[in-house]
Structure 1
Amino acid sequence: LRGDLVRKNHRSGLGRLTNALRTLIQTEYLTPGTHLPGRKLARHLANPDILPKTVSNAYMQLRHQGLAIAGQGRGTRVAGPAESPASALPADWLERLQHEMEGDRWFEQVLRTHLLNLPPHTLLPPHEKLAELLDLPETSDILLKNAYSRLAEGGLLVRGSNDTRVADHNGPVHPVTAPQTSQTAGATRPTTNDSHPLLPITWVRDLRSELENNPFNPSSGREKATWFAQALERNIQSLEHRTRLPSFVQLAEQLKGAGVNTSLVQRAYTHLKEIGQLTAEFGKGTWVAKTRDAMDPATGPGLPQARTEQDEPPLPTDPLLDIPELDETQLQELWETLEAEEPRATPPVMPGTRLDPHADRAAQATAHLTDPSHLPHLPHPDVHDILSLLSRTGRPRPHALNPGRPMTGTWNQGAAEQ
């Protein structure tokens, strides 16, 4: 929490607008599918710190965090499965947005985002202790006390006589301020049934250390995205299956000093998803995939074990893998043999004649189309055919294999059988 507060200027126009919109989405005041106004929102807010570019940048941050989506010619709307028809903006939404941007609510919004990532019943430090731990001039005791009170009123915290805990998200809570499906920075709020392993505290530090010790070399002949993706792939090998990773925005921010930006992390995540090292679900974040055995014939190396996890049977293997392919000479021999065969004459067929009135007329009229009797066919080869093929290609005849047998002008049955 302290690192987040240090890195971000939440009191700037962009920070306050982004945090306020995030709160309205997380509390489901703005429901999935709701269209957000475009750059004209700056004119409606009439705030000198909010320019049209500020609105565009705020929407971009919400898209990076998985809270909003945009389509060509369709504007920006709240992420998630949309209702039909899509929800309209509430009549008082501008007043609510301006209220969220006022005063010291910026800290409540940041704290809310971090609380949504904690399991239910997590014990929080008293507001006095938290102010001491944060050691930031802008996070006073009074500020934290007010934030705790508002979050408790909204159902996100439970305040006892001696402690403060995260509320049970599965129980009855305020229908507006604590929905079960809230999203934060591309990740869902954990519940008692969400058993994602925790990311080790030192994981980002170790990744940063590797990047700093092996910086990108432009003369290496590989792209910078490849350099970072390979380092990321090495560092996720030690993580447990379903370990949740930071969003690409969060990871880029923590690796900023190592020459990594948001675009680089996003491209690396996409590449690792394509090769089955990572998996993701819309609005729920990115986590380590469960990979198959490297020798799995059904899906190949490194692919997610989706079929096994869904109790589906493995894909069948090819039963003809051990049959050798014919070489050019053998193909030529087979072709010549087929050409020598006289094709059977196609029997004349008059559609509609000799039809059984009690049967399917269409099936009888087209039966000749599936009758293979007129097609050229090669009878099953016997020993004579094999010997004939061998003799025509100049390969050793049977007498060469058995020098003790006298040669004759013609091959009799005994010679053929031998």
Structure 2
Amino acid sequence: MDAYLLIITLAAIALVIVGVSVFKWHAFISLTVASLFLALTAGLSLDKIVSAYETGVGGVLGHLVGILALGTILGKMMAESGAGMQVADFFVRKFGVKKLPWAMLFSGFIIGIPVFFEVGILIVLPLVISIQKTTKQNILLISLPVIAGLSIVHGLVPPHPGALTAISIYKANLGHVLIYSLIIAIPAAIIAGPLFAKWVHKRVVPQGEPELIRFNTNYKKLPSTGISFFIILLPVLLMVLAAVAPYMSMPKGFEKFLAFIGSPVIALLISVFAAFYFLGIRQGMDKNMLRKFSEESLIPVGSIILIIGAGGGFKQILIDSGVGDTIGQMSENLSLSPLVLAFLIAGLIRIATGSATVALTTAAGIVSPIIEHMSGVNLELLVIATGAGSLMFSHVNDAGFWMVKEYLGLTVNETFKTWTVLETLLSFVAFAGALILNAFI
């Protein structure tokens, strides 16, 4: 029976992969069909299948919907107001031309905190290309560090949807994940960013030229650098305050207040209103423009919400059909660390489907039932290990691969040698960081 449950679970994961890559189904449909297949073949009674799926979807999305929406609006305000460009320009001025790779790394890292990877690229790309035109340096030396900063934050650091989904599924502590992920993300970004860029730009010289893309802006003046940094870092500062509040001697009522404003949805809501005022109204935007930006930014969120929800449904089917307990017993017999298991499963799904979000959500759903009866598992580092696995070996089935290729004017071969290697470096260095921290915590 154990072997049968394992086989049908592998078949269900294969169904997700085939659905996305061969039949070109949306990941939501693939995950939903795989959930139904797993439930039926595992012998879950018909009257329980739909309720289990709905419970799983609701459990994951209950507190994520608001976070996703608010985070996207915040990113849109940064892009449209020019706040992201101000931050990038600040680092370039401070570091100078000789240390440009480091300036670009910090730009990507800071800008990437509140925005999706794709939005971050759109924010910094005009600056990257204009610097390349001015300095005549290899575009890879300037672009790869900023991409490394954006990508590692997107993969590991809350309030990004992947990390928040894994935190929700594993029931991990958000504050601890935030602190650990920043500790791990910085060295990973340095190795895969400036250090790798300095090595690879001598070996790969792009044949094509990037097109100069200018971001359409509707503002009369740019926000100040200080305000730009404040808005970007505000949600993180509020979450860090909530995380450290229990360890500081303060009145109980004030500690509860900090925990309230530091919860992701409230922290982002406060940050969005701060952005509306400082990046919008003070820059000459009217109420109609702010509403337009909000509506435009929310359209792409629907797809991500559906994928994350379906991943939650898949997880609940795994639990209710007993598959999770079976895999848990088998992995205990194999003495395989949950961190290693989560990293490998997320990596395999990422390679097969091309989606970091699908990889993270599905892997967390598979691993969470396994660890329920285990003691001594660091749930926060498990989130990071799963996130690290979801970054590895981006190739032709990943939208990010084509985005980097087209925007930087690279060939497919050049993109493999640069972007694919960069993502894999980020993945393995972050995983190594999680294992090292696990040995000490």
TM-score scaled by length of structure 2: 0.28
Q: Which has the higher helix share?
A: 2
The structure, 1 or 2, with the larger RCO (C-alpha pairs under 8 Å, 6+ apart) is 2
Q: Which has the higher strand share?
A: 1
Whichever of the two has the greater Rg, that structure is 1
TM-score scaled by length of structure 1: 0.29
